[in-house]
Chain A
Amino acid sequence: MKVKNIAAIFLILLSIWILLNNQFQIEVMIIGVILSFVISIIMGSRITVFNELKFSFKSVFYTIWYLFVFLAELVKSNLDVARRVLTPSLPINPGIIKTKTVLKSKMGRMILANSITLTPGTLTVDIEDDILYIHCIDVCCEDIDKATAAIVDKFEKILVKIYG
């Protein structure tokens, strides 16, 4: 369990090092490997979020698919907000509503909340166990089930397959 956590931190740190240096000389790589190894050993027992990651073919596939769904949603809703901003009468109908999530893991909830925040028109204000409080620029419905179906479900049904 702990080895996987350390390995995840090590890989993330090493890839950041490689991207930052942008060169593949052997000395640079050796320094990067040593540094990321030491840091991941030190921090391994404290950062426990990566324990929930699963390295399998299915999860990688769904992660990539999720990225595409997310980017499409991002562009679509950005255009929607751009339309609202450019309309002279400013057609907004804001409010804070409740939605529910079925995700249990911390990582899954974090990704879900961040995705909801990044799609314009919705903004996660607070999380309380499995209740998400979302500020909408255009409130569709105050009922918790309908709101969940409208906002959360499209991300959740993919995230459930990755994080269970």
Chain B
Amino acid sequence: MSNSVTERNTHVTMDPAALKADSRRKMTIGEIIAFILLICITITMIFPVVFMVSTALKTSKEMLQFPPTIIPRVFAWENFRTLFANEEIKFGILYKNSIIVAVVSVIGTVFSSALVAYGFTRYRAKGKRILFMLMISTMMLPYPAVMIPQFILFSNLGWVNSFLPLIVPTFLGSAYQIFLLRQFFMSLPNELYDSGRIDGCTEFRLFWKIALPLSGPALATVAIFTFIWTWNDLLGPVLYLSSQEKFTLPVGLAAMMSSKFRIAPYNLLMCASIMTTLPIIAIFASAQKHFTEGIVLTGIK
């Protein structure tokens, strides 16, 4: 995406003839070496993905074969059907649950974090710095340290085996995302708010109509991060969810390789992995432009 931006710029600054000449220009030795190197690195990076797809299409006998085949002798497309039809895996339900939890968490995190970050940016108050430090310090606590007290809390609320322990906390802000958004909001000039106020905006409207629309890239970053985290989260769902109807994808995937006494159905597992990574790839691809901008912009300030 960033390439297209620079390309567009060259169109503007260079005349077409010069551009044509530039594209016909011979590559230097250094560039050739760099390209070869990059291609090699790309291949090593892509190989696991190729192997994932290849294993996904193997029969359970071929998957155990040595030496392993890269291109399956028989393409076992029915693995995908088996995955969705299997009564024990219930892949469709896992998928649905993961989407519910991830989407609601994204909404919750973006809204609540933006609100808190806005407050931290716009207002002066006694002890604001201490509050901010306190909030930032919660980032230092690893999940396993708070896991059990939190579990006891939610268990006493009667929330176990529901999505609530996974969703409700996201409506209470995430320290990391608040920090990220605060840095972005600080870059917005105060004059904007002043003019908004002159036009009679309420404080919430300033937030809603000025701060948020101008923060597209930062919000996209927060949304993508949150989506990926919740999409991949395993320990939380394992602790709080106990019936098969509530499980999310990572729980299902972990279960598929949980047996100590049987060979895991790696071909089905790889089918499941492909299906699981697709949404992340799709979301990242569609939001990539905003995402990279977001990281750059928040980084500068």
Is chain B found bound to chain A in the same assembly? no
Q: Which residues of A contact B (CB under 8 A)?
A: none
